[in-house]
Structure 1
Amino acid sequence: MDVNSYTYHHPTRWDAQFQLASLPELLEQTVAKYSNKPFLHFLGRSYTYAEMHREAQQFAAGLIARGIKPGDRVGLFLPNVPIYASAYYGAMMAGAIVVNFSPLYTVEELAWQVADSGTRLLVSLDVPELYATAASVLECSELETLVVGSLADMLPWYKGLALKTLGRSKVAKVAYSNTIVGFGDMLGDPAKTSFPPIDAAQDIALLQYTGGTTGRPKGAMLGHSQLAMNAQQTAGLNPFGDPSNEIFMGALPFFHVFANTALLNHAMVTGGSIAMVPRFDAGQVLDTIARYKATGFPGVPTMFQALLDHPKLAKTDLSSLKVCISGGAPMPAPVHDKFEAVTGVRVVEGYGLTESSGVVSANPYEGVRKKGTIGQLVMGTEVILLDKEDPEKLAPEGEPGELAVHGPQIMRGYWNKPETGNDTFVERDGKRYLRTGDVAVMDEDGFLEIVDRIKDMIAVGGFKVFPSQVEDVLLENDAVKEVLVIGVPDEYLGERPRAYVTLNDENATAEDLCEWLNARVGKHERVESIVIREELPKTLVGKLDRKALRAELGI
């Protein structure tokens, strides 16, 4: 659908022109305007833009002095801590490509991704679990240098002192050497350093690994232009006046593409602040929102459910919040409605992918929105719907199709996979569209709704069943808290749906829920059983994980 055929409800024009620049260039511009403004709040200590920028320059100088050259890969194996930002932007200032690694990776997972990316230097933390994993990878891989930050040094002085003296078991005993270096010792002198030029249009800034729907994860190559454009597109969604006044709740992990754009780079390009926590903890998040008067909270649906479940919620002042943005997975309607009813805060859903630098669409923060949809496209972004059976054709008018996206934020391709072809991109009318694998519909107002994933569809006797549609019905039952529907083998029909649920009501039975559900869905959508569980598998950022459930069950 042509964007000119419907009313565009975002506050910035769809055809707005954004600045083509590298992330370090945008950071310098922000520092020039907001030098002494807080950029990061971390457990009681605040860091200004000038402080973070200076440390980033020093880290860049240290990298260059250690032989890191433009295009070399520098890995970040960190939770949400202040040195993430200085190492992230500092590596880019040195012309390096940042590689994000989840701090929950095992030795095997980290070693494989270090090898695949060719990471030369890795930044981590003196937390025992992280340090042990990183040090093991240093020994068993081609990794050359491990840089270890001190958590105590990032805290207010009194908390840092307490950690060093009373919490010694929580601090790793780092074996410093020529190859294991303290973060402070990596900081060089920018005045004596020649920084390489950065070509925003051509240079890769970040390797962001996908979750890997099949096989090994793939490294999406995101250039400076893609990341910078998507940060500006995200900033263009803000209707609330001066964006430098915004204070974002930083509970999403920075290593994830959603947080990388919607939190870190978004705040950086606008002069906003981030009140960050090392990892998601519902009680700590509520305390942080109240303490710093957070105005925006990007999260995933399970975070909002966790806040609803927490006893502190009713006593916490959330009046500063203007909007919560839910992404990463569809938000169940009962969670959406209950969170708004309990908190009085508007929740809007959005959509994005690793391969799109983070954000493709969102519901407007004010005015018109449509619950259950992923909203309208962000500025400069176009989509087509492809036929589910033949991606060379468009989907029939009015029918669901595979969502394919074109825009300035779309990745260059996958790292070390030059053969990437029609399974990833499709050419149409001279434009290259990213195939998302998500099945969507668009209404007459330009609002998109994700129906399901191509690979998640269940084939029942020749009919296609969308798991999400069955899940949506089951979530209408107040006894059901979370649900995943997968296909299980069936001798007669090929596959049949089966539902796995967690409960709000411990008295509910699988038999009663099954009977209730099957009376409300089509014949081919009826589940063969419902399995009640204490918990369902989730991804690193808290999304319900259908792939992990299938793997657990050997399906």
Structure 2
Amino acid sequence: MPRKTETAHPRPWIDHYPEGVRWDDEIDLTPVHERLLEICQRTPDAVALDFLGKKTRFRELGRDIERFAAALQSQFSVTKGTRVALLLPNTPFYVIAYYAILRAGGTVVNCNPLYTVPELAHIVGNSGASVMVTLDLKQLFDKAERLVADGQVKSLVVCHFPDALPILKRNLFKLAKRKDLAHVSASPIADRTAKFSDMIDRDGALVPVRLDPLKDVAVQQYTGGTTGLPKGAMLSHANIAANMSQIDKWGLGLFDPPTRVVAVLPFFHIFAMTACMNVPLCSGAQVVMLPRFEMKALLDLLTRTGANVMPAVPTLIHALGRAGPSAVSALSSLKVVVSGGAPLSDETRTLFARVSPALLAEGYGLTEASPVVCCAALRVPSKPRSIGQPLPGTDIRFVDIETGEPAALGERGELQVKGPQVMLGYYDDPEADLEAFADGWLRTGDVGLLDEDGYVFLVDRIKDLIITSGFNVYPRTIEEAIYGHEAVDEVTVIGVPDTYRGEAPVAFVKLKAETSANEADIKAFIADKLNKLEMPREIIFRSELPKTLIGKLSKKELREEYAQRKGSKSEQG
């Protein structure tokens, strides 16, 4: 279902696009499950998935998707609009369940396996998910069991984790890790569970579901937990298909076979769902998976598979750069690494370049845009420190934060987005919709600028902006300066209340192993790199800095910790 994009206003990026990419190319809105099943028929013998050495061919993948979809319909009455929650790490089970839910007409609700039961209860309760798919690993099943027992979810589909493993690893797991498996048959909610293996063993008849790609919700993705309870971004079939098509066109065939894409980022996160799963599989490429990030496991996977494309987050790239010469051989197969999820520092770029010649391309997106908005070129280098240019069919503008007027080229403002990948809105939250859109443009909350060649540069988040003595101070500027110190491994800067200035910056620093530095050392190093307003009031050293569940450095916990610490000090005083 191709769609021709419309011309609305001057776009400086068009004349400076990578050779071979057209902004006004047709965007394919065919739902992703239809695209994948067509690939399964066209290349049945090609390997689709590699999970710890166990390979699944497209023929098997297509068969299991069809059978699981039919079983969801017949056993759980899944149809258009039914919400089905996935509480799964990266495994073949996730891939099958995701596309089967869409095939049956349902809506995927992704759940982070590391969430607490109350956090999961909010997501499944708000979404109205009636069925949840999970593993029989105790750490997951126990949470799912609680949700069913508490009435948050009606039914469970339970996947037997050893079934995902190659024969030798399966036998070893049963011998050495049996205690990690839940006794599902003995559970008090056993009568409300179904075995995944039983469901795909049946060759039931699928009831066709007529979808409207522009209106029907494919994925309800929860986001925004740092500013209150997570909100459910409703992503239509067309939103997800459009972003997949946009990335594919931007990559100029990068994701076509014989490409092998590393999926170490979790599929339940929107970046991995799109870049690590939808884009490669719907192009017929192979996806090699890890259930979680471990350095040795990742390096072993790269050595074994020769994978050449890897979406990643900056903390993962930083860790690879720190791995040193021992990682060089394993990383030699990589040709392109796409960084997303958080800003990529110069320090991280430099470290990674020492261990890998791969093209390191920074992209940018947000859940509400399915998620990719901009990306550096994937075949040739882009401007340093830029997040690249808007993807085909994507419009952007920058708006002055104070006046709301469009910002001129080179002037800072809030980045706002239009395009076929932008969500329908938040589920059952009209107030949040009003805040998210301005005259039909999606507000990102990110501050940056557009240069004369259409390259986008981000400065910081509006919510992270520090206003000190009436002037705007951007934490990212301070972080970049501190990262330049040879002893600094990670740094995060927050704004804290200041009686005299209103707000003041405070830096939290993690040092590299076997190095030393104190507050005076760091301040002396950055003295000529920052102005007086940007100089941190305090530098606090930590052995670890908090991260989100996909590995982004997180400021939320540090703000709360700092407020509690200062509060307790004032009480003592």
TM-score range, shorter chain: over 0.9
Q: Deviations over 1:357-382 (max 9, x none)?
A: 02111111222412211101111001
Contact 1:99 1:117 in 2 (8 A): yes
Contact 1:22 1:198 in 2 (8 A): no
Question: What is the distance in 1 between the residues matched to 2:13 and 2:401?
Answer: 26
Question: What is the distance in 1 between the residues matched to 2:280 and 2:380?
Answer: 23
Letter in 1 for 2:410: G
Deviation of 1:312 after TM superposition, in Å, equals 7.4
Partner of 1:424: 436
Give yes or no for the alignment of 1:210 onto 2:260.
no
Contact 2:425 2:433 in 1 (8 A): no
Partner of 2:307: 294
The 3 A distance-change label for structure 1 pair 515 and 4 is closer
Structure 2 gaps, min length 5: 1-9, 565-573
Other structure's SS at 1:523 match: coil
Q: 1:527 aligns with which of 531, 536, 540?
A: 536
Letter in 1 for 2:493: V
Other structure's SS at 2:228 match: coil
Contact 1:374 1:449 in 2 (8 A): yes
Partner of 2:527: 518
Contact 1:92 1:98 in 2 (8 A): yes
Residues 139-178 of structure 1 mapped to structure 2, 5 A cutoff: 139-175=149-185, 177-178=190-191
Contact 1:286 1:312 in 2 (8 A): no
Other structure's SS at 2:331 match: coil
Other structure's SS at 1:360 match: strand
Letter in 2 for 1:198: L
Letter in 1 for 2:453: D
Partner of 2:141: 131
Question: What is the distance in 2 between the residues matched to 1:503 and 1:475?
Answer: 10
Letter in 1 for 2:211: I
Deviation of 1:440 after TM superposition, in Å, equals 1.1
Runs of 4+ with >4 A deviation: 188-191
Q: Deviations over 1:74-118 (max 9, x none)?
A: 000000010101000001111100000001011111111110110
Deviation of 1:322 after TM superposition, in Å, equals 1.0
The 3 A distance-change label for structure 1 pair 465 and 315 is closer
Deviation of 1:188 after TM superposition, in Å, equals 6.6
Q: 2:397 aligns with which of 366, 379, 384?
A: 384
Give yes or no for the alignment of 1:225 onto 2:238.
yes
Partner of 1:32: 41
Question: What is the distance in 2 between the residues matched to 1:83 and 1:311?
Answer: 34
Contact 1:348 1:371 in 2 (8 A): no
Contact 1:458 1:465 in 2 (8 A): yes
Question: What is the distance in 2 between the residues matched to 1:520 and 1:242?
Answer: 41
Q: 1:463 aligns with which of 463, 471, 476?
A: 471
Give yes or no for the alignment of 1:433 onto 2:466.
no
Contact 2:53 2:166 in 1 (8 A): yes
Contact 1:254 1:260 in 2 (8 A): yes
Give yes or no for the alignment of 1:245 onto 2:280.
no
The 3 A distance-change label for structure 1 pair 258 and 5 is closer
Give yes or no for the alignment of 1:554 onto 2:549.
no
Partner of 2:485: 477
TM-score with structure 1 setting the length: 0.96
The 3 A distance-change label for structure 1 pair 311 and 385 is closer
Identity %: 39
Question: What is the distance in 1 between the residues matched to 2:197 and 2:106?
Answer: 19
The 3 A distance-change label for structure 1 pair 241 and 71 is closer
Segment of structure 1 superposing worse, 476-485 or 177-186: 177-186
Partner of 1:254: 267
Structure 1 gaps, min length 5: none
Letter in 1 for 2:407: A
Q: Deviations over 1:170-204 (max 9, x none)?
A: 22221362202211123374552323222222211
Question: What is the distance in 1 between the residues matched to 2:558 and 2:278?
Answer: 33
The 3 A distance-change label for structure 1 pair 382 and 36 is same
Deviation of 1:439 after TM superposition, in Å, equals 0.3
Question: What is the distance in 1 between the residues matched to 2:322 and 2:14?
Answer: 42
The 3 A distance-change label for structure 1 pair 142 and 212 is closer
Question: What is the distance in 2 between the residues matched to 1:312 and 1:101?
Answer: 37
Deviation of 1:14 after TM superposition, in Å, equals 1.1
Question: What is the distance in 2 between the residues matched to 1:420 and 1:315?
Answer: 46
The 3 A distance-change label for structure 1 pair 532 and 38 is same
